[in-house]
């Protein structure tokens, strides 16, 4: 138990990731307003990306832009660039899905006149 | 050991707290426009944390796409729909969410013990293939920015398919938002 608490204390990024991830998930499950649900979805997306970027950090390393192009490169001097590439793709795709979801919201509002989930269900019946 | 970790993370802790405050506030605020603006500031603090962690390319993209484009998309939707309906109903949470989410959280926190130290150069994600990319990329692609060389050269097929995804999303938006001329 003490080990676990110490492990969490040494990884504040992971603790932040877990809190924001669960909070966003909870909002997606419980709120009626569709825009609030999308806010929760955005929190979940960005928290996972935050965790991936935190993994790539190295103590005492600099940004992954080579300082010298003639000497051999020491990998310890630069942070891990691979998660950065994967998360760049994930951010852009996440915003693309968010755009489609918001367009769906606008279409729903145009047809039903509300963004409240329960009222839409009532009008559907 | 513990004090050393505290020292290295000391600049990061206030940023993480700001992240948590804006993430919670963006949901709890009743007015939807204020919620979206808080979400934009959350994105911006996220970009600051990433710049602090050395991920400058990701920070740029988050500041432009996350804090800029996503906020604009949210605001356009709100102006197109009903920002006047600001009183949001808060239903009682379902039992399934109250049981399953804390269990998921406990599992995630239990896994924290097995994670490698953040910032450890010898951690598994930083040892297998990533040193190869760092050491070879200039010989292979003649680009000093390693992130660009991986994105546009080693993994250019991934990037191409990503543009297909964005194209599909654009078509979907256009089809959803088109006005019927009936």
> Which one, of B27, B76, B68, B29, lies nearest residue B46 by Cα?
B68
Chain B interface, mutation test: which of A74, A80, A98, most B Cβ atoms within 10 Å? Answer: A80
- Report if residue B32 sits inside a domain: yes
Specify the pLDDT at position A68: 83
The answer to whether the Cβ–Cβ distance between A64 and B147 falls below 8 Å is yes
Q: Is B37 on the interface with A (CB under 8 A)?
A: no
Q: In total, how many domains does chain B have?
A: 1
pLDDT tens digits for range B31-86: 888 999 999 999 999 999 999 888 999 999 999 998 999 999 999 998 887 655 55
Q: Is residue B34 part of a domain?
A: yes
pTM for the model: 0.90
Nearest to A102 by CA among B76, B33, B163, B29: B76
Q: Are A38 and B74 inside 8 Å of each other by CB?
A: yes
Residues of A in contact with B85 (CB under 8 A): 114-115
Q: Which residues 83-142 on chain B approach chain A with CB closer than 8 angstroms?
A: 85, 88-91, 93-94, 96-97, 101, 104-105, 108-110, 112-113, 115-121, 123, 125-126, 129-131, 133-135, 137-138
- Interface probe for B, chosen from A102, A112, A113 (most Cβ of B below 10 Å), is A102
Around A120, how many Cα atoms within 13 Å sit in the side-chain half-sphere? 15
| A11/B112 CB distance under 8 A | yes
Question: Domain containing B61 — which CATH number?
Answer: 1.20.120.1200
Whether the Cβ atoms of residue B118 and residue A53 lie closer than 8 Å to each other: no
Q: Range of B78's domain?
A: 11-87
Helices and strands counted in chain A (H then E): 5, 0
Residue A18 has a pLDDT of 93
Give the Cα separation of A25 and A43 in Å (integer).
Answer: 8
Which ipTM score applies to this complex? Answer: 0.91
Q: Which domains does chain A have, with CATH numbers?
A: 2-56+77-124 (1.10.287.3510)
Domain-located, residue B182? no
The answer to whether position B142 is within a domain reads: no
Residue B120 within any structural domain of the chain: no
pLDDT, one tens digit per residue, over A81-113 is 999 999 999 999 999 999 999 999 999 888 888
CB of B152 less than 8 A from some CB of A: no
């Amino acid at each position: 138990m003490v080990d676990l608490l110490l492990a969490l204390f040494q990884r504040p990024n992971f603790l932040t990731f877990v809190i924001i991830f669960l909070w966003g998930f909870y909002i997606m499950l419980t709120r009626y307003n569709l825009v609030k649900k999308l806010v929760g979805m955005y929190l979940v997306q960005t928290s996972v990306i935050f965790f991936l970027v935190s993994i790539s950090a190295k103590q005492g390393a600099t940004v992954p832009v080579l300082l010298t192009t003639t000497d051999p490169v020491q990998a310890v001097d630069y942070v891990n660039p691979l998660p950065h590439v994967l998360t760049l793709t994930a951010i852009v795709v996440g915003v693309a899905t968010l755009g489609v979801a918001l367009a769906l919201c606008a279409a729903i509002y145009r047809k039903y006149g509300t963004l409240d989930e329960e009222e839409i269900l009532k009008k559907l019946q | 050991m513990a004090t050393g970790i505290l020292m290295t993370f000391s600049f990061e802790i206030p940023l993480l707290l700001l992240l948590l405050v804006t993430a919670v506030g963006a949901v709890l605020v009743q007015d939807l426009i204020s919620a979206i603006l808080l979400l934009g500031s959350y994105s911006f603090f996220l970009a600051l944390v990433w710049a602090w962690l050395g991920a400058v390319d990701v920070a740029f993209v988050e500041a432009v796409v996350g804090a800029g484009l996503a906020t604009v998309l949210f605001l356009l939707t709100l102006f197109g729909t009903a920002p006047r309906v600001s009183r949001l109903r808060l239903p009682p949470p379902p039992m399934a969410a109250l049981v399953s989410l804390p269990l998921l959280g406990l599992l995630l926190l239990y896994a924290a013990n097995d994670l490698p130290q953040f910032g450890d150069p010898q951690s598994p994600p930083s040892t297998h293939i990533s040193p190869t990319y760092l050491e070879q990329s200039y010989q292979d692609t003649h680009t000093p920015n390693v992130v660009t060389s991986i994105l546009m050269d080693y993994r250019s097929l991934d990037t191409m398919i990503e543009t297909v995804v964005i194209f599909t999303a654009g078509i979907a938006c256009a089809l959803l938002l088109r006005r019927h001329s009936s």
